Amino acid sequence: MKDGGESKEQQLTVALRIRPINEAELGEGATIIAHKVDEQMVVLMDPMEDPDDVLRANRSREKSYMFDVAFDYTATQDTVYRLTTKGLIEGVISGYNATVFAYGPTGCGKTYTMLGTDWEPGIYIRTLNDLFKAIEETSDDMEYEVLMSYMEIYNEMIRDLLNPSLGYLDLREDSKGVIQVAGITEVSTINAKEIMQLLMKGNKQRTQEPTAANKTSSRSHAILQVTVRQKSRVKNITQEVRVGRLFMIDLAGSERASQTQNRGQRMKEGAHINRSLLALGNCINALSERGGNKYVNYRDSKLTRLLKDSLGGNSRTVMIAHISPASTSFEESRNTLTYADRAKNIKTRVKRNLLNVSYHIAQYTSIISDLRKEIQRLKEKIDEQGLKQLRSEKSDIRNIQGDCL
């Protein structure tokens, strides 16, 4: 991959989404503690307080967080998409990496935001639709190839959701230090409808189980990866190919084992989920420390290895933190707000990814050299086997001669 020129420092964009309160929470006697007051989101520490009380804000135990954007239960899927993700598309089709990930406790709306429903589609579908529209608009001058993969990390194992029969896949680092999933299915298409069908097919394969906190709880981290290669239709010797990679991630929800009343397999899943989220939290902590010299341990989980570039490397990254408005979820909400607040300090360095013709030549040369070696190896093997066969035939002849004498 050629150096795409100057890199620009970019701060993580952090959005907060608070879903509507639900029947189960109301049934437990929960009250709403998250309110939108003017353009501010207020999460009350004491449910008895009045969110409109201006003096409340001056009390010393009050903590305030600033996010790039905050959505309450009135926000539509379209608004959330437009104010978080839509702006990344142009960059992706012209060679920049981007990541959007949904973070937060179980049952707080991550899958709703990313996948959505048939009537209220989420970020995956809206992004793909607009991506193909943007491609169509510039396709007179530019040629595109779009590759899609969809995977989940379940119990620390990577599964290809487009082809689960492949078994568990490994992570590998390429020569540029970019983490790749070895052997993952990459479907090439520039047809939005086809990609949607693949997405739906993949979703059916995703590991979901009912837990006490959410009857369709995602027990895995789902990762939709879209790679866009763009090149000019005018061919010349120094032709460049721009390669943008977009990750859209629906994380599994963090949870308290006591709250979810999980047993057996659910509890094991919960432990894996919490472990990888803890590793993610540790990376966020390390990356957000001022001075930036702290060691960041991405190797603690597959999730953080895969997110290495999204968090500390070459990517425009958006985190959408989710919380429930219920008083019964106060602790989880506070933890989520704390992490989201830290994540705001993370800075990445964004650079365009360019391949050029010399890169392709280098690739072909390396493939040819590998093939030559393989041919040589096979020749030697054949020679060796031929020699062995000759020897064994000779010895057979000797034996026959011996028998005859």
Ligand X SMILES: Nc1ncnc2c1ncn2[C@@H]1O[C@H](COP(=O)(O)OP(=O)(O)OP(=O)(O)O)[C@@H](O)[C@H]1O
Stretch that binds ligand X, among 56-64, 106-114, 155-163, 175-183 (CB under 6 A): 106-114
Please, what is the minimum distance in Å from the beta carbon of residue 205 to ligand X? 15
Is 181 exposed, middle or buried, given 0-12, 13-18 or 19+ CB atoms closer than 10 A? buried
Residue selected from 16, 19, 310, 311 as contacting ligand X according to rule CB under 6 A = 19
Please, what is the minimum distance in Å from the beta carbon of residue 264 to ligand X? 17
Decide if residue 261 touches ligand X (CB under 6 A): no
Nearer to ligand X, 131 or 222 (CB): 222
C-beta of residue 70 within 8 angstroms of C-beta of residue 322: no
Residue selected from 25, 85, 95, 109 as contacting ligand X according to rule CB under 6 A = 109
Decide if residue 217 touches ligand X (CB under 6 A): yes
As given in the structure block, the two tokens for residue 293 are: 């010299």
Binding-site size for ligand X (CB under 6 A) equals 17
Stretch that binds ligand X, among 101-109, 138-146, 195-203, 370-378 (CB under 6 A): 101-109
Sign of the CA dihedral with 267 first, then 269, 270, and 271 last = positive
Decide if residue 218 touches ligand X (CB under 6 A): yes
As given in the structure block, the two tokens for residue 93 are: 């089709």
Decide if residue 111 touches ligand X (CB under 6 A): yes
Residue 216's closest CA among 207, 205, 229, 224?
207
Q: Which of residues 112-171 bind ligand X (CB under 6 A)?
A: 112
User: Could you tell me which residues are annotated as the binding site for ATP?
Assistant: 104-111
| Nearest residue to the partner ligand X, using Cβ | 253
C-beta of residue 340 within 8 angstroms of C-beta of residue 68: no
Residue 68's closest CA among 349, 285, 309, 340?
340
Q: Which of residues 287-326 bind ligand X (CB under 6 A)?
A: 322
Residue 200's closest CA among 106, 128, 110, 104?
128
Nearer to ligand X, 109 or 202 (CB): 109
Stretch that binds ligand X, among 157-165, 216-224, 347-355, 394-402 (CB under 6 A): 216-224
C-beta of residue 71 within 8 angstroms of C-beta of residue 287: no
Stretch that binds ligand X, among 83-91, 104-112, 169-177, 237-245 (CB under 6 A): 104-112
Decide if residue 252 touches ligand X (CB under 6 A): yes
Nearer to ligand X, 106 or 288 (CB): 106
Q: Are strands 208-209 and 40-43 parallel, antiparallel or unpaired?
A: unpaired
Give the helix ranges, DSSP H, for 115-163: 123-138
Please, what is the minimum distance in Å from the beta carbon of residue 339 to ligand X? 15
Nearer to ligand X, 138 or 338 (CB): 338
Question: If you ran DSSP here, which 8-state letter would residue 159 be given?
Answer: E
Amino acid identity, residue 288? S
Decide if residue 352 touches ligand X (CB under 6 A): no
As given in the structure block, the two tokens for residue 166 are: 């492949």
Query: In the stretch 195-214, what mask flags binding to ligand X with x, by CB under 6 A?
Result: -------------------x
Residue selected from 30, 44, 83, 107 as contacting ligand X according to rule CB under 6 A = 107
Amino acid identity, residue 401? Q
Which residues of 7-65 form beta strands (DSSP E)? 8-11, 13-18, 34-37, 40-43
Strand pairing partners for 187? Answer: 148
Nearer to ligand X, 227 or 260 (CB): 260
Cα separation, 270 vs 321, whole angstroms? 19
Site residues (vs ligand X, CB under 6 A): 19-20, 104, 106-112, 214, 216-218, 252-253, 322
